[in-house]
Structures are given as structure tokens and as C-alpha cells.
Structure 1
């Protein structure tokens, strides 16, 4: 793996750990702050909404800044935000710190994905994006289980202290290994918002929202589901999260390979597989062996879709890749917020934990129909366009 992709993956690892570890620590946070599980779950919604709001703002603010300096600045914001989480004395300030941390998320992954794609040949773009997102999946393999175990043993705040240290190491890697001169698209970021009028860009953004909402409607409450329905112990939950993280890593790599071969067909097949997973999850959750099997398949398919949709949006928005890629991160996290929020509302109104997968199945069916319509009706713009000038003959370079 090239060093610049290692640096991007390292930062993605820290950001991903910070975002997802809260799911394994929800019971601990709720007990410590004297709040209910459904209220604690809103910390995930708040983070996601911070990404949604921050993505377009940071896209505008950083549009004409050097890419390397921008990535370092965003990663540094992440470090500060996690320090504030560790120090937060109550729920309100913890929520504010989570939202602050989230502001760097969308822009970092959006800009990072474009940088990763532009520094490799066109036929390797999906794989390069997937390699960057490997850091995010490794966060689920190592960061989330270890962070959960640490939080359970030494208090949830200790996890955020360690995550802050990971962020500092990532900043150092970005400073050392990201090229100083990175090609950039010239132009005005406000004019680039015209890309939102293009249906070929809008439908992948909508698909990202629905796919992420389906994932997080269940994943937000995976710890109580495992504990109360499957009968997994607190230590066992860490093991299941580790298994799920391995599945996400496999899925990210698989999605990159599939995207390089057949992007549209792969999208439809992955969504069809996810629909089947959510349909069998309620029954499988009552016994450990089937729950582990379904969880692994769910993780593989659930994260295979990420590099597929990210590559699609970069290709479809060839005239505004930085903006569109960043907005797609906002779309993913809007889905996170909607999924976690929907789950919170449903549980608050008496829906059992085993009912959440059916909500996810309905959303997955909708995104499957959308993807089938979009890929067949509008096609893939990047398949017929030449490589963007940002990748070959840049008009302006970072200093």
C-alpha cells in the first residue's frame, strides 16, 4: 500500500473508532450519566447530524485550500473534539463535543477519497478508495472492540483519551506521507453546487442515505440486542463486534474489487443480499450460532456498498468531485442519524429490539429499487467520460 494511502487509512482508523465505539459503550455511558439507552443512542444521531451539517460548510471553507494542509487541519480538529469528549462532565457537553468532532468527518473522507482516487490510474480508483476506507473497517476490527473493552474496564472516558492519541499519530503520518503537491480542480465551490441539479448525482446521494439508515437502525442498538435477545455476555459483545469488524474489512476490499469490475451490477446484487440478511436477522438473533453467521454476512455486504457508492458519486460528479464526495459523506451520515433516530423512536414506542431489522429491510428494499432504476435509466457518467483533468493535467497545484 502506498504511504499516502497508509496515512489516509490511519486517520480513517482514528475517526472510525471515535464514531463507532460509542455503540459498544452505550450501556456504560447511559449508566454513568444516568440516562436511558434510547437517549444515549442520540449521541450517535448527534454525531451523524454534525457530519451532515459540517460537510457542505467545510467543503466551502476548504475549497481553495491546499489539500495536504486541509487534511491535516481536519484531522487536528478531530483530535481536539475527542479530547473534549473525554473531559465532558455531562450529557449536554458530551453531545456538543461529539457534534464538534463530527464537523471534520465528512470533509476529511470526501477530500481524502478524491485524493486517493486521483493519485492512481483510473481503473484502480475503486480499490484506492477502498484502501483508504480500510482504516475505517479496521476501526471496527480493532478500535471498536478494544475501545469497548477498555471503556468497560477503565470507564468510557479512557477510550476517548486513547482515540485522541491515535489521532495525533495520524496527523503526524499525514504530515510525513501526503504529497506536498496534489492536483486540484479549479473553479468556484458555490458554482459547483450546480451538480445537485443532476439526477445522476442525486440518486446515488439518496441511495447513500437509505443504505446507511438501514445499517444504523439496527447497528446502533447491537449491544442491547446481543445482550437481551441473543444472551451474549458483556465480554462476548466485544467478540461479536470484533467479528463484525472483520466482516466490514472483507466487505470494503470486496466492494473495491467489484467496483473496478462492474459497478452498477455489483450495487444491485449487494443491496439484494442485504435485503435477505435483514429478513432473516430477527429469527437468527435468538441463538448464538445463526446470529454470528448472519452478523458476518451483514458486515461484509453492509460495507461493500461504501466504496461502490463513493466511486459512483466521484465518477458521476466529474466536474465537482471534491464537493460531491464530501456531500456523499454527509449523505451517509444523514442516513446514520435517520437510522439511529428511527430506532430510538421505535424502541421508545414499544417496538422490540427484534423489530428493528424489519425497518431496515423496508429501507433496503427502497434503495434496491432506487439503485435498479438509477443504474438502468441514467447509467454511469464516468464510464463514458475521460479521466477528469484533476487526475492528469491539473490547472492548479497545492504548494
Structure 2
């Protein structure tokens, strides 16, 4: 199987310029991760600031996720005819303005609209950023390049989210959006300076991009992400309750717990990118059962603080190893509509977020305890492996198109 690619830009721009281009793309992911995940840590401050209830505050997070799901396919398809650099610039400008509008939003209604708007460019930006990164390197290095772009999102959980949470708690929750807006502006400057210009494909069009949705393998890859990654979010959503109520970790240690989870995500993302370069489907086949095992061990280890902290790192690493392989799989499944196919990965992960949080909350409501979401996550990872096996069987009978 082969895919259509441009000659790697690294031969023209040099290693240093290539690294700066990847860093510029990753900086956008850093800003996106900071605004997405810090909201959860500042929920109480937002409730008080807007004088709203906890469920209403939760709707702000849901509005952002809905924006991701809607915006990923629509903006990627609409921008198909644009040069990729210009599309990335436009999406990051939109993202920056939307976050600055959240900083200025005077009431709950306008905040709800601004959070939805901020989510719209999320998936499309990651989609086009992955395509740009993949085009800058040799085909055998695509997984690694994509993982470096995704590193911005994972590093945000180690640095951006803890800092923005501290900033919001200490000096006002609205400063989160001002900080993210400034990160977006810095990203714009770096994208303009370091990302090389590439002409759009001669046949690129809205209809061509939407053609990706006609392919069974695209939908199977999306389903692997929704189901298989749902277990990751089922665990992550309730990690604070598990750590404090089951493991006995003191509440002031929770930022350390989240940072440890983020460090695991960074490590897993890097390793996942490297092994995806060797075998995309092999990585998926290996990572999903490994994630299931890690989640079962986490459910047992969560009863002691020291073992719980170890498994927080392991679960973060195991889950994030899946992302580069899924991103690459979608590019392989739809080489003539790469921006849309790649962006759909992030729409799928946001659906996985909602699915995991819902199922995890359901078993807690049934009285099964705070370790139950991890066991639900293990089941979801195995179900995701089943979907991946179906995808592999279909490919053996009908190889992916060039």
C-alpha cells in the first residue's frame, strides 16, 4: 500500500527549519489543550463568577466539545482549496479571537456561544497540522512527525493546565482565556515564519474532501477512536475522586496527580509515534489490549497511594500511544482527502470523551465505586480492539487505495 505524498520539505528547508515548523504546529496544540482541560479545574470559580449552577457550568465544557465535533469536518472540507499554511493560520486566528471573546463575555449565554466557537477550529487545526507535519518528512517518519505535533496537546497537561489553573484560581478565572489568546497570537507568528508554503492539491475541493466519508475504513478508524479511547476518558474524568476517596491521596496533591498523568501522556505519545512508523495497525493491535490491562491493574492499585500514582503515569502513557497510530491510519485510509480524514480523529476523541464520562458516571451512580470507570474503560478498549480486528480483516480482502 502506498499513499500520495509531496517531497519532504526537509530537503529544502533543513533540519533546523523543519524542527521550528513542527514546534510552531505543536504550539497551537499547546494552546488548544490548555483551554480545553483547564476549564475542568476552574469549574467552581466559573460557577461563582457567572452565578450559575454546576450543571450549567458543565454545559460550557459540552459546548466546546460540540464545537469540535461540528467544526472538524465542516471547516476541514470548506478549507480544502486553501493552501495548508493559510488554512492553519486562519483556524488559529479564529481560535484566538474566540478565546479572547470568552475573556470578554459578560454573561452565561455569550460565554456558551464563545466556548462553542472556540471548539470549532480545534479538530480542523489538528487535522491540517498533522497533514503538514506528515508532508515535511519521509513517509517512514510520518508517525513520529504527527506525534511531535500532538506533543503540544500532551505537554499542555504538564505545564499549561497546571499553570493556567493556578493563574485562574489566584487572579481570576477569565485570565485563562486571555492567556490562551496570547498563546494563539504567538502561534500565528510562528506559523507565518516557519511553516513552508505548499500549494493546494490541483483537484482539491469540498466534494473531494467529503469523499472521505464514503470509505468504510475511515468510519472503522473513527469507531476505534470513539470506543477504544473512551476508556481513557472514563478513567481520567473521575481521577480526582478515585485518588482522594479510594487511594487516600490528599486533595492538595491533585495538581501533581494531573501533571503525572500528563507526563505519561507525553511519553506515550512519543513512543506511540515511533512504533506507528513501524506498523500502524500493529500499534493499534498492541496498544488497545495493553491499555485494557493497565486499566484493570489501575483499578486494583488505586487502593494504595503509592501504587495508584505509578498507575496514573502508566494509564496516561498507554492511552496516548494510540493517538498517532489512529491519526496515521486515517491519512492512509483517505489519501486524497487528508485534511478532513485527519480532523475526524479529534472529533472522534471528543465523542470518546463524552462516552467515557457518561459510562463512568453511570457505574458510579449504580454504586459500583470510583474504580468501576477504569473497569468500564478496560471493556471499551477490548471492544475497540474488536473494531480494529474487523478493519484489518476488511483490509486484507480489500487493500487501501493508493
- Report the TM-score, using the length of structure 2 for normalisation: 0.88
More displaced stretch, 279-288 vs 119-128: 279-288
Question: Cα RMSD over matched residues?
Answer: 2.5
2-side partners of 1:88 and 1:250: how far apart? 37
Alignment pair present for 1:260 and 2:277:
yes
User: Are 1:279 and 2:279 counterparts?
Assistant: no
For the structure 1 residues 59 and 183, does the alpha-carbon distance in structure 2 shift closer, same or farther, using more than 3 Å as the test?
Answer: closer
CA contact (8 A) 1:244 1:296 kept: yes
Please list, as runs of the form range in 1=range in 2, the aligned pairs for 1:246-257 lying within 5 A after superposition. 246-257=263-274
Give the corresponding residue for 2:308.
Answer: 291
Residue 350 of structure 2 is aligned to residue 333 of structure 1: yes
Q: Which residue of 2 is the match for residue 389 of structure 1?
A: none
Aligned length: 385
How far residue 153 of structure 1 moved from its aligned partner, in angstroms, is 2.3
Q: Does 1:110 align with 2:114?
A: no
Contact 2:78 2:206 survives alignment (8 Å)? no
Greater Cα shift, 339-348 or 165-174: 339-348
Q: Report the counterpart of residue 392 of structure 1 in structure 2.
A: none
Tell me what 2:235 maps to: 218
Query: In structure 1, what is the Cα distance between the partners aligned to 2:364 and 2:285?
Result: 30
**SS of the residue aligned with 2:211?**
helix
- 2:250 counterpart of 1:236: no
Distance 2:56 2:229 in 1: 20
Partner in structure 2 of residue 186 of structure 1:
203
Going from structure 1 to structure 2, the CA distance change for 1:213 and 1:246 (only over 3 Å counts) comes to same
Q: Kindly indicate whether residue 332 of structure 2 is the aligned counterpart of residue 310 of structure 1.
A: no
1:15 Cα deviation (Å)? 0.9
**1:363 match: secondary structure:** helix
Find the counterpart in structure 2 of residue 70 from structure 1: 87
For residue 270 of structure 1, give the secondary structure of its aligned residue in structure 2: helix
The SS at the match of 2:203 is: coil
Q: Residues 95-131 of structure 1, C-alpha deviation per residue, up to 9 Å, x if partnerless?
A: 3222110001011011111111012111111111111
What are the ranges of 5 or more consecutive residues in structure 1 without an aligned counterpart?
387-399
Segments of 4+ in structure 1 off by > 6 A?
none
Change (3 A) 1:237 1:225: same
Please say which of residues 318-327 and 220-229 is displaced more in the overlay. 220-229
Q: Which residue of 2 aligns with 1:391?
A: none
- State how far apart, in whole Å, the 1-side matches of 2:213 and 2:258 are: 37
Provide structure 2 residue ranges, at least 5 long, that are not aligned to the other structure. 1-17
Matches within 5 A, 1:53-202: 53-182=70-199, 184=201, 186-202=203-219
Q: How far apart are residue 141 of structure 1 and its match? A: 1.4
Deviation at 1:324, TM superposition (A): 0.9
Q: Distance in 1 between matches of 2:300 and 2:52?
A: 30
Show the 5 A alignment for 1:6-17. 6-17=23-34
Deviating more after overlay: 109-118 vs 352-361: 352-361
Q: Take 2:202 and 2:149, find their aligned partners in 1: how far apart are those partners?
A: 21
- Distance in 2, matches of 1:155 and 1:232, equals 27
Work out the CA distance in 2 between the residues paired with 1:72 and 1:380: 40
Asked if the contact 1:282/1:354 (under 8 Å) is kept, the reply is: yes
CA 1:233–1:98 in 2, change beyond 3 Å: closer, same or farther?
Answer: farther
Q: Per-residue displacement from partner, 1:39-65 (whole Å, max 9, x unpaired)?
A: 544433322221111112112321112
Of 209-218 and 171-180, the range deviating more from structure 2: 209-218
Shift in CA distance, 372/62, structure 1 to aligned 2, threshold 3 Å: same
Distance 1:375 1:364 in 2: 16
Tell me which residue corresponds to 2:20. Answer: 3
Q: Distance in 1 between matches of 2:173 and 2:289?
A: 37
Distance in 2 between residues matched to 1:123 and 1:214, nearest whole Å: 30
How far has the Cα of 1:80 moved from its partner? 1.6
Q: Deviation digits for residues 194-241 of structure 1, max 9, x if unmatched?
A: 332322222111111113322222322333433444343443111111
